[in-house]
């Protein structure tokens, strides 16, 4: 081994890959969870996330009884990620501390408590508010369908489509979505086949063409749909190719997201 090559391998860390928001392997949204003693330079975490090539890689550092949590897509750090938080909770409560009832993650979006809910996990996330805006030709052209309503949030657009079938069969122009002035577009409609709502999420600017299941998107979906459907708790389905289910409850300025996880991989990375 050359000196340069030996210098590359300076740290080792446990890694888990977890399918989140699903009860069966190869469904939901896969996330990587890396356990660290301390955070390295941001560029190192970005390189690890790019190597993993998953929608998100979560990096955990213990702080007292809880953990600090950061999330990276293959190209950028993000301020909130639902499925990788769910996966992180499964690692802590399912592998490292099975006697604990919950864990709180310190994050860029504030404290994120997660508690056991039977065989599932319940996450307490902040609401993401939005305002109605006119439907633009750029949105319609990028989606390949005209929204019945369009809302604008701090991070994403929310496009309401005519029905669940339109959401499920949508084939958007990802380059067009990448050219918009927000990080991504959530599309949604009233649900079908037993679900209250359906959605999909496209975020090519973040290096994610279509995210399989997106917890943070439901922080924007909940305050939109709860008053329209007249119920506080919604059974939600994200209709990507992998698909995933969430139980979503709006409680003031917080959203509870409940889902299951399945472990796929456990090992060690060196960097």
Give the pair of three-digit tokens for residue 182: 């927000």
> 210 catalytic, yes or no?
no
Confirm if 250 and 232 have CB atoms less than 8 A apart: yes
Q: Name 51's Cβ contacts closer than 8 Å, sequence gap at least 6.
A: none
Catalytic-role residue among 41, 51, 56, 63: 56
Q: Name 86's Cβ contacts closer than 8 Å, sequence gap at least 6.
A: 18, 20, 21, 31, 114, 121, 123, 215, 257, 259, 261
Tell me how far apart the 2 most distant CA atoms of the chain are, in Å: 65
Distance CA 83, CA 121 (A): 11
Distance CA 21, CA 230 (A): 24
Catalytic residues: 56
């Amino acid at each position: 081994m050359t000196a340069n090559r030996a210098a590359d391998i300076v740290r080792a860390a446990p890694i888990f890959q977890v399918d989140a928001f699903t009860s069966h392997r190869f469904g939901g949204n896969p996330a990587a969870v890396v356990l660290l003693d301390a955070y390295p330079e941001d560029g190192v975490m970005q390189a690890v996330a790019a190597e993993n090539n998953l929608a998100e890689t979560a990096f955990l550092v213990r702080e007292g009884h809880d953990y600090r949590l950061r999330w990276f897509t293959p190209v950028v750090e993000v301020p909130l990620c639902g499925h990788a938080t769910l996966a992180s909770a499964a690692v802590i409560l399912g592998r490292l501390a099975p006697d604990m009832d919950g864990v709180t993650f310190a994050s860029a979006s504030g404290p994120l408590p997660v508690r056991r809910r039977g065989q599932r996990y319940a996450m307490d996330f902040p609401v993401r508010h939005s305002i109605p805006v006119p439907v633009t030709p750029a949105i319609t052209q990028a989606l390949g369908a005209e929204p019945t309503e369009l809302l604008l949030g701090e991070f994403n657009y929310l496009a309401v489509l005519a029905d669940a079938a339109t959401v499920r069969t949508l084939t958007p122009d990802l380059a067009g979505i990448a050219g918009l002035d927000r990080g991504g577009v959530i599309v949604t409609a009233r649900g079908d086949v037993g679900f209250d709502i359906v959605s999909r999420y496209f975020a090519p600017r973040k290096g994610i063409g279509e995210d399989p299941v997106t917890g943070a998107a439901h922080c924007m979906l909940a305050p939109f749909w709860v008053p329209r459907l007249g119920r506080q708790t919604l059974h939600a389905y994200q209709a990507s190719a992998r698909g995933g289910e969430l139980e979503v409850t709006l409680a003031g300025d917080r959203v509870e997201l409940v889902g299951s996880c399945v472990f796929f991989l456990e090992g060690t990375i060196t960097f």
